[in-house]
Amino acid sequence: MITPARQAASPKVAVIIPCYRVTRHVLDVLARIDAGVTAIYCIDDACPDGSGTLIESSSHDPRVRVIFHPVNRGVGGAIKTGYRAAIADGMDILVKVDGDGQMDPGLLMDFVTPIAEGHADYCKGNRFWNLGHIRRMPRLRRFGNLMLSFMTKASSGYWQVFDPTNGYTAIHARVASHLPLESISNRYFFETDMLFRLNTVRAVVQDVAMDAHYADETSNLRISRILGEFAFKHIRNTLKRVGYNYFLRDLSIASLELIAGLCLLGFGGCFGLYHWISSAAADVATPVGTIMLVMVSLISGLQFLLAFIGFDIANAPRQVLHRSIQVNRPARPVD
């Protein structure tokens, strides 16, 4: 809770709530938002249940502003609309909270504080921090998050973060204004795509321990439906990130280790396979020298590749970005 003595010096905090079929919970979420928050942006993403209309007619909080999408843009599209509106209004820290009651608004300042104190540019929730709470998560979500977390580590470069699909996030407005929002996914890949984009600008990301509440809310996310799509996009982002960080922006010893590792593994695999097939077809034993050459290539290639991964893990951004940049103006127009 922000005390009155500190409120004048505190950053302007905006809460962004994507609204799609959240009529049962969103008013309670709004009522529980911290008094230190400056503005609340509710984005009605063409909600068939009329979430935005309900908020306008039932909420008397002067901080609340409802923005309507004429067509559904997905959760990412709704968040980006909120980001643009908050940046245009001069907000400093932008917090995204779901309107379905899964995220405790009482934790909001836990996400704001690391950014306000200059320790991070972006904070995200981690429901796996407290092992005693993991069992409360539905098994399918737990399994899906475990798989997606590892893929996200590789594609984003933030090897220290976990629970990538967690939508409880906070970002400094200066950093958000420098992100190519139009290039970030509009759908459920938004959170993981954000991490990839944050790494390209070298923003500092920090996990925040939290618990999630699973009751009668309706989830529109189906792990079985998006797992293949996510895997493809993670591979794409991994290749793009490695290309950006190790060949376009910089050429370090890790770049050479990656090239050497891939070349040696490729040579050892192809050369060994060719000679194994040739020897099998001729019904003769493969020469010992050939076997040794293949093994040395494969082992050396694996060592170079592991050295690259070790460098990449240690290369996570550590210098807070928002202290050295200003808001990218003019702000993009609000949808």
Instruction: Output the domain CATH number for residue 84.
Output: 3.90.550.10
* Residue 21 near residue 48 (C-beta atoms within 8 A): yes
Q: Are residues 136 and 36 in the same domain?
A: yes
Residue finishing a domain among 246, 262, 279: 246
Q: Are residues 115 and 72 in the same domain?
A: yes
Q: Is residue 258 part of a domain?
A: yes
* Residue 283 near residue 327 (C-beta atoms within 8 A): no
pLDDT at 227 over 80: no
Q: Are residues 23 and 88 in the same domain?
A: yes
pLDDT one-digit tens code per residue, 33-72: 999 999 999 999 999 999 999 999 999 999 999 999 999 9
Q: Is residue 92 part of a domain?
A: yes
Q: Is residue 334 part of a domain?
A: no
pLDDT at 5 over 60: no
Question: Token pair for residue 68?
Answer: 């309507």
Give the span between the Cα atoms of 154 and 235, in whole angstroms: 9
Distances (CA, A) of 244 to 9, 201, 205: 38, 10, 19
The pLDDT value recorded for residue 138 is 67
Q: Is residue 53 part of a domain?
A: yes
Q: pLDDT tier at 215 (50, 70, 90 boundaries)?
A: low
* Residue 202 near residue 321 (C-beta atoms within 8 A): yes
Mean pLDDT computed over 187-214:
89
The pLDDT value recorded for residue 127 is 83
In the three-class reduction of DSSP (H, G, I as helix; E, B as strand; rest coil), residue 212 is classed as: coil
Count Cβ atoms within 10 A of the Cβ of residue 24 and give its class: 0-12 exposed, 13-18 middle, 19 or more buried.
middle
Q: Are residues 240 and 262 in the same domain?
A: no
How many structural domains comprise the chain? 2
Mean pLDDT computed over 214-227:
56
Q: Are residues 210 and 262 in the same domain?
A: no
pLDDT at 243 over 90: yes
Mean pLDDT computed over 305-309:
97
Q: Are residues 168 and 49 in the same domain?
A: yes
Report which residue type is found at 139.
Answer: R
Q: Is residue 324 part of a domain?
A: no
Please give the radius of gyration of the chain, using alpha carbons only, rounded to the nearest integer: 24
Q: pLDDT tier at 286 (50, 70, 90 boundaries)?
A: confident
Q: Are residues 208 and 255 in the same domain?
A: no
Q: Are residues 128 and 115 in the same domain?
A: yes
Is the model more confident about 234 or about 146?
234
In the three-class reduction of DSSP (H, G, I as helix; E, B as strand; rest coil), residue 325 is classed as: coil
Q: Are residues 262 and 299 in the same domain?
A: yes
Mean pLDDT computed over 202-227:
70
Question: Token pair for residue 178?
Answer: 């420098």
Report which residue type is found at 253.
Answer: I
Mean pLDDT computed over 291-315:
96
Domain range for residue 242? 4-246
Q: pLDDT tier at 159 (50, 70, 90 boundaries)?
A: very high
Q: Are residues 99 and 116 in the same domain?
A: yes
Question: Token pair for residue 102?
Answer: 């899964």
Residue finishing a domain among 217, 246, 275: 246
H or E stretch at 83: helix 74-88
Q: Are residues 198 and 306 in the same domain?
A: no
The pLDDT value recorded for residue 1 is 47
Q: pLDDT tier at 225 (50, 70, 90 boundaries)?
A: low
In the three-class reduction of DSSP (H, G, I as helix; E, B as strand; rest coil), residue 31 is classed as: helix
Give the span between the Cα atoms of 13 and 249, in whole angstroms: 33
Q: Is residue 330 part of a domain?
A: no
Q: Are residues 301 and 227 in the same domain?
A: no
